[in-house]
Chains A and B, each alone.
Chain A
């Protein structure tokens, strides 16, 4: 079974940092693009970042550029996002998802909640 499991969410103060992880199983992790997508409470989905299979092609949404860093460890089948200078508006459930060549996202992890508040 193809599965993605996120971890690392929690409560952090404004200006703080957090690193999320996403462990993959059931497929050849090193063959796929991977993405982070977030969803603020009661709001819609927002694409955050992507990384290609070997980690050398990376993109970010303008809202997180310069603050978030996506990375991956193919030996550990794990995707990461390092989030610095966190703001209240970064409060959301963060999902990791596998990306297809034609831009589809499947499957999705269960999500991990990040709350930025003092």
Chain B
């Protein structure tokens, strides 16, 4: 159950887009469409942003979108806003349990 690989950091100016990758294996990301993404502000609990690769829960802005190709999933935040500055984690079902990504800190310049 090795962690999924994410870039440590990503950044963009307000209004720009940023895309975060999440690379797993054929046993997790590549095998199941059960990839989800979480936003975590400092000192706060994580919040679900995307589930089943590309679905948005009620209340999550449509600026957030998800996709998957092979063993790599991606989260795109369009029209960056100051409040989007946070840590982002991907997660995937892996058969006997779940695995999270290493996390990406998004900075709004």
| Inter-chain contact B100/A103, CB cutoff 8 Å | no
**B52 an interface residue at 8 Å Cβ cutoff?**
yes
Interface residues of B, count at CB 8 A: 28
Chain B residues with CB below 8 A from A95, complex form? 45-46
User: Can you report 29 A-B residue pairs in the complex whose CB atoms are below 8 A from each other?
Assistant: A44-B102, A44-B103, A45-B40, A45-B89, A45-B91, A45-B100, A46-B3, A47-B1, A47-B97, A47-B100, A59-B96, A59-B97, A61-B1, A61-B97, A102-B51, A103-B34, A103-B36, A103-B52, A103-B91, A103-B92, A104-B48, A105-B36, A105-B38, A105-B91, A106-B51, A106-B57, A108-B45, A108-B47, A111-B45
With the chains together, A108 CA to B89 CA distance in Å? 14
Q: Does A105 lie within 8 Å of B103, measured CB to CB?
A: no
